[in-house]
C-alpha cells in the first residue's frame, strides 16, 4: 500500500495519479513504462493528510509499475477533461497482493 513518507498515512494511487494528470505529456507517459516510472520518481506529490510534499521515488516502485499496467489494461479509466481517475487503483492493487499471498500459502507458483 502506498504511504506518505512523512506522516505515514495511507495514500490512494488514484489520488496520486490525479496529481500527475496535470502533466502535459501524461497520456504519452502511459505508452512508455520507463518514462512513466522515471517521471513518477521525480514528480513532487502532495500528501492530502499532512500537506507535506515528497518525491514519487519514496513510493513503492513495484506498485507504481502495477499502476502503469492497470491504467493500460483499463483504457478509458481516466477522465482527462475532469482530471479524474475512475479506476479504484488502490483496491485493485490490494487484491493483487492478496492473491499473491494466497498463491504462496497454497504452494502454487513453484
Ligand atoms: Zn502525509
CATH placement of domain 13-105: 3.10.20.830
Check pLDDT > 80 for residue 81: yes
Ligand 1 centroid from CA 10, angstroms: 8
Nearest to 86 by CA among 1, 3, 9, 21: 21
Distance 110 CA to ligand 1 centre (A): 39
pLDDT band for position 108 (50/70/90)? low
pLDDT of residue 23: 95
Q: How confident is the model at residue 21 (pLDDT cuts 50, 70, 90)?
A: very high
- For residue range 24-78, what is the model confidence (pLDDT) as tens digits? 999 999 999 999 999 999 999 999 999 999 999 999 999 999 999 999 999 889 9
Where would I find the beta strands (DSSP E) of the chain? Answer: 44-46, 53-55, 78-79, 84-85
- pTM higher than 0.75: yes
Asked whether the beta carbons of 83 and 22 are under 8 A apart, the reply is: yes
Q: What are the sequence ranges of the domains in the chain? A: 13-105
Taking the centre of ligand 1 as the mean of its atom positions, its distance from the CA of residue 46, in whole angstroms, is 8
Contacting residues for 71 by C-beta, under 8 A, at least 6 apart: 17, 30, 77, 78, 85, 87, 89
How far, in Å, CA of 9 to CA of 65, rounded?
21
With 60 as the cut, is the pLDDT of residue 109 above it?
A: no
DSSP state for residue 87 in the 8-state scheme: S
The helix/strand count (H/E) of the chain reads as: 5, 4
Q: Which three cell numbers stand for residue 110?
A: 513453484
Amino acid at each position: 500500500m502506498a504511504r506518505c513518507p512523512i506522516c505515514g498515512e495511507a495514500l490512494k494511487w488514484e489520488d496520486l495519479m490525479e496529481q500527475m494528470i496535470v502533466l502535459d505529456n501524461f497520456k504519452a507517459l502511459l505508452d512508455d513504462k520507463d518514462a512513466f516510472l522515471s517521471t513518477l520518481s521525480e514528480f513532487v506529490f502532495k500528501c492530502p493528510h499532512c500537506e507535506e510534499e515528497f518525491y514519487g521515488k519514496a513510493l513503492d516502485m513495484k506498485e507504481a509499475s502495477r499502476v502503469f499496467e492497470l491504467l493500460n489494461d483499463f483504457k478509458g479509466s481516466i477522465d482527462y477533461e475532469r482530471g479524474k481517475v475512475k479506476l479504484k487503483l488502490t483496491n485493485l492493487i490490494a487484491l493483487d497482493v492478496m492473491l499473491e499471498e494466497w498463491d504462496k500459502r497454497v504452494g502454487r507458483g513453484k
